Structure 1
Amino acid sequence: WRSVKYEEVYLRAYETVSEARDSIGRYLDFYNRRRPHSSLDGSTPDQPYFTPLPIRLAA
């Protein structure tokens, strides 16, 4: 939540709750789909989450 606060919420002056909801929603979409994360070796959270695991055949 620290990133959401420092990169979105603290930088905006929302006029209404619906404006805040829309803006934070857009930020979360950016955060999960387009923003690279160093802890994920530069990939986005969506990349490892939605990448299928390799199929392992039983021996």
Structure 2
Amino acid sequence: HLEAIADALLAFQHTVLPLGDEKPSAAHRSRLALAEAAGTVLAGGLSVLGISAPERI
């Protein structure tokens, strides 16, 4: 399940941040929240497996 979450996150990670001078929209903020939540789930899952997760990648 962790691999599926990581794959799903990688599929849309480049659409999270606004481009250039574009102002962040509600959709951008929602995607950032989803990315943060996925990171929390991945870190927790790795911890259960006894694998330490880096603070940042």
TM-score (norm 2): 0.38
Q: More relative contact order in 1 or in 2 (CA 8 Å, sep 6+)?
A: 2
Which structure's residues are more often helix, by fraction? 2
Q: TM-score, normalised by structure 1?
A: 0.37
Larger radius of gyration: 1
